[in-house]
Chains A and B, each alone.
Chain A
Amino acid sequence: MSSTTGGYPVRRFSPERGTWSRLTARDSVLRRLDWVMLLAALALSGIGTLLVYSATRNRTELNQGDPYYFLLRNLLNTGIGLALAVGAVWLGHRALRGAVPILYGISVLFILAVLTPLGATINGARSWIQLGGGFSIQPSEFTKITITLGMAMLLAGKVDAGDRRQPDHRTVMEALALAALPIVIILLMPDLGSVMVLVIIVLAVLLSSGASNRWIAGLIGTGVLGCVLVWQLGVLDEYQINRFAAFANPALDPAGVGYNTNQARIAIGSGGLTGSGLFHGSQTTGQFVPEQQTDFIFTVAGEELGFVGAGAIIVLLGVVLWRACRIARETTELYGTIVAAGIIAWFAFQSFENIGMTLGIMPVTGLPLPFVSYGGSSMFAAWIAVGLLQSIKAQRSMSA
């Protein structure tokens, strides 16, 4: 499996075979995809589209008088996301391996651009680039992919080549440096939520690479020490601490985060077992929850679909993660394992943080719920990740 064109060995796909027969053949890539994960992710995006529509059809100040504005855009985003996923499968993660340095470089340039006058500030974080026509991108979403791929490339390089059984210290240091650069830039935005996700990704990547326990312990230790220092040295103002802690005690920031937390909890709590029915939630119809189509999309599910519907979203996320874990365990090359582990950590932590903040058990940060929240960049990144996982699965199956 050394020679590859377009991601697939030449000897299996001879040029004389037609596209249709290629797709339906016994060894076809379609048959090698993880359809369970794919359907679960598609279901999440479908539910998400309905929830986004429910949350925005009355928000005249946002949808410019068109109740379908967000619905259509979300469908478009999902479509683009699917296309990107197909592209990722088509190219294959191994082919992308060669392009990783370029992709990494581009993503760093983009997040740097955010800090220049090109960037736009939304909700206190300078993390967007306005493209005009109502479109904007959030480059930090894509760094989640490029950091995973970049670190995987470095860490798996010597191991997959059979030179070492596990990454040496120098490699680990290089990988950490590679991750640190974008993390620091994003910290300057400041987009604390994305930084948290990236740190978790780095941790999972190191764990799955087989790096020595000392690195893991060191990384966790540094993180804890950093938090303690920030806390003790008074780097943060009291209002910042209050905003952070308001998820637990809304009274600390009653007009800001506390209001969000409170209204989100009321919306979800009032849903009960089966919810008030899609489009019938008074909290949603009355627009009591700010940012409801993006960061607080889960509250729509909680109120209108109840425990059954909101629980289904958690179960679907569980299905995606379960299949991803299987892929991580069963792939034969370390590169695939590391990429899968990074994606698992990303999806799992971001979902937990996003849903957790609407349920009042996690601090409020601006993180979308993968596949469900409205937002192009996040949708594209999530689907690219699905494409990468499928590619890992497909190529592992093939080579097994």
Chain B
Amino acid sequence: MSNLPETGRTSRITIRLVVIQILVFSLLLTLGGRLWYLQIRNGDQYTAEAADNHIQQVVAPATRGSILDARGVPLADNETRLVVSASRTDLMKMKDRGRAVMARLAGVLGLKPEEVAAKVRLCDAKTPKPCWAGSPYQPIPITDEATTQQALQIRERQEDFPGITAEPTAVRRYAGPGGSNTAQVLGYLSPVTDEEIAKAKNGRSPLLRSDQIGRSGLERQYDTELRGKAGVTRYEVDNLGRVIGKAKSDKAVPGANIVTSIDARVQAIAERELDQAMKDARKEIDRNTGVPYKADSGAVVVLESKTGRVVSMASNPTYDPNAWVGGISAKDYQDLTGKDSDYPLLNRAIQGQAAPGSIFKVISTTAAVNAGYDFNGSYNCSSAYNIGGQVFKNFESKGYGAINLGRALEVSCDTVFYDLAYRQWQKDGGNKPKHPADWFYKTAHQFGLAKETGIDLPNEVRGRVPDREWKKSYWEANKDTWCKQGGKDDSYAGKIAKENCESGMRMRAGDSVNYSIGQGDTLVTPIQMATIYAAISNGGTLYNPTVGKAVVSPDGRRVHEIKPTSHGKLPFEGRTRDQIDDALAGVATRGTAAWRFEGWPQKEIPMHAKTGTAEVYGKQTTSWIATYTADYTIIMTISQGGTGSGASGPAVRKIYNALYGVDEKGKIDAKKALLPHPESKLPKIEKDGTIEAQPIASPTPTPSASASDGSSAPPSEAPSSDAPASPEQSPSRKEDDDR
């Protein structure tokens, strides 16, 4: 057929036909190329998208592990509640979209039909709450407080309630054994957010929409261990969400249990005594301001001296952790976190920071010895100390004459430390420092201040050591404001601003002097001071405090013990430690705390103590007391609570009384002792994985009267409040800001 046809066929047509043919096959080649690109080149991506499309998951949540005290008593566990849930998929398949079933259900549960309907509608931009924010394939809980009667009605008449289930379900419970509360240490749970799901998607433990997450405290710290792994049943669904098959599914794995070193009985007493001490402080009149102490917050920590384990940790004000269970109400949330709340969620033992006052003097003493001063040397405890015309008074202007450093600790003599700090400041070059040794600041860092203790609780704050570096950066940050205000303002505040503007970048004599007695810009947390005093007790090891003692797998077969770790040694020789130890025993027997430990069996249980009263600019003084025995270290602080021994002394003594079984007169009754020695063993773990709980008594009634009535004249400690060397060095407390 190659010859040209005889009729009408021109070469033009032949050429055009070839062009058409080429075009046609180019189109087909294009299709083939694109097909290759989609299916072979990018096939995996689309395969994944197809899987996303048609797989839906139904989650059976894992039972969250319990948090137990040292004797196996559950602090946080789960209780079984009857939860009535509706399967949205089933309801929507019905002709009336489940309306009749929901109306019947509302009747049984005593709710309005609209309330039930509102709970099963899906959340979107236009839907007001309540609505269901989770997966539409997940059974939607209607109530978690169904009675057995209601559950039976639903289950026995299943034909009337298609798609409705009434199942016993585990719900978190904070039991509060023995009257303890432990709220801030335990923390709380709340539902997972979309961002968290997205973030954890590619991690080792992906989150499911139904998951609750630990938000603070132990619930957060050990969240991964406690949570376990939820069971997931995967269904293949079509474009309308109808189930058309079942895919690979995973079984739920319950979470591990956490055994802590908390003793619920001691915890209950610590909480009660802290609360009582604050109530008592509010009855006292502050002689400086002329109004009763506000005692707005406080904390107490009981550590095992030799391990750093936390026996109890209380923070006040507090709250009921069960408020979070089953979703927190808007009002409760406002009460816990709102501007008008007293921020009860804060764990003030690790998140409250304040100037330490005189309990800081163990650090200054060590610094002086390390700088070359003899512990047993003779130092003049005058009633006042004069630096360049500025007078720094001893507390209540009392003088003790020539004494050694031990006695200076006992009577908490400020002027001795003023003198040491001033001399050291001069040695370092005064206002023109040359390679300063900064013994007092260096030692504070060596004691672990301005650094987390590493406790196994989240969001611990670091405190602050106001050394040269800090002063400089603080001045850089504030000089503009200071210089502006100081230039035009003639008031007291204006003068301070001017002085700060001109010399705030320098370490001034007054700063150093004030610092040496724990006043000024120094900030510490109760847990930091607890690790320091526990270290003095145990010979110098700074332990990272631990609350968790062991992670026990749900079947009880694997027990991972959490061993105490340390973050350093105190920078002193054994001899210095013994001398300080002696002096602190002296504080309890003949020093500032002696009146609170009258009749204490010192021979059997040597008690050591140091009191402190810290100045707070614009507020009442912070009360501190640091105490230890060979076994335990107890630190208590009360913001705006008065003096250390006055406000906290009786409370601390009562905790010791309970621990060792000591009565008011000082007699030891071993039978009444709650915990004469720290609990070293773990509670007994049964073969089925359950952990045996020791019996715990119901809470003892709160003693009606407190020993502290202010009638006996307390020996005084800490500096006089009218002598701040540099007035700007009294920052307001950071507790509420640094959460």
Contacts and interface: CB of A to CB of B under 8 A. Distances in A.
A278 interface: no
Tell me the dominant secondary structure on chain A's binding face: helix
B7 A160 contact: yes
Contacts of A337: 9, 13, 17
A307 B40 contact: yes
Interface in B26-71: 27-28, 30-32, 34-36, 38-40, 42-43, 45-47, 49-51, 53-54
Given A210-B12, A329-B14, A333-B7, A265 B54 contact: no
Contact of B7 (A162, A286, A310): A162
Contact of B36 (A307, A330, A331, A356): A307
A80 to B, nearest CB: 28
A208 B53 contact: no
Interface in A115-134: none
A317 B17 contact: no
A269 B54 contact: no
B28 A352 contact: yes
Contact of A288 (B45, B47, B238): B238
Given A325-B20, A334-B9, 9 more contacts: A208-B16, A210-B16, A266-B53, A268-B38, A286-B53, A348-B24, A351-B28, A359-B34, A361-B30
B28 A273 contact: no
Interface residues of B, number: 46
7 contacts: A204-B20, A208-B20, A283-B53, A287-B238, A311-B32, A325-B24, A345-B24
Contacts of B34: 356, 359-361
Contacts of A269: 38-39, 42-43, 45-47, 49-50
Interface of B: 1, 5-10, 12-14, 16-21, 23-25, 27-28, 30-32, 34-36, 38-40, 42-43, 45-47, 49-51, 53-54, 236-240, 244
A344 B18 CA distance: 12
Nearest to A331: B5
Contacts of A166: 8, 10, 12
B236 A310 contact: no
A80 B712 CA distance: 115
Tell me the dominant secondary structure on chain B's binding face: helix
A294 interface: no
Given A352-B27, A359-B38, A266 B13 contact: no
Nearest to B42: A269
Given A271-B43, A352-B27, A359-B31, A282 B13 contact: no
Contact of A359 (B9, B14, B35, B50): B35
Interface string A327-340: 01111111001000
Contacts of A321: 24-25, 28
Contact of A282 (B10, B35, B53): B53
Contacts, number: 170
A58 B24 contact: no
Contact of A272 (B20, B30, B43): B43
A251 interface: no
A330 B2 CA distance: 8
A166 B13 CA distance: 10
A266 B17 contact: no
A375 interface: no
A47 interface: no
Given A270-B49, A307-B35, A328 B12 contact: no
B100 to A, nearest CB: 23
A165 B10 contact: yes
A314 interface: yes
A330 B239 contact: no
A246 interface: no
Contacts of A344: 20-21, 24
Contacts of B23: 348
B278 to A, nearest CB: 60
B17 A325 contact: yes
A286 B238 contact: yes
Contact of B35 (A204, A268, A288, A349): A268
A282 B20 contact: no
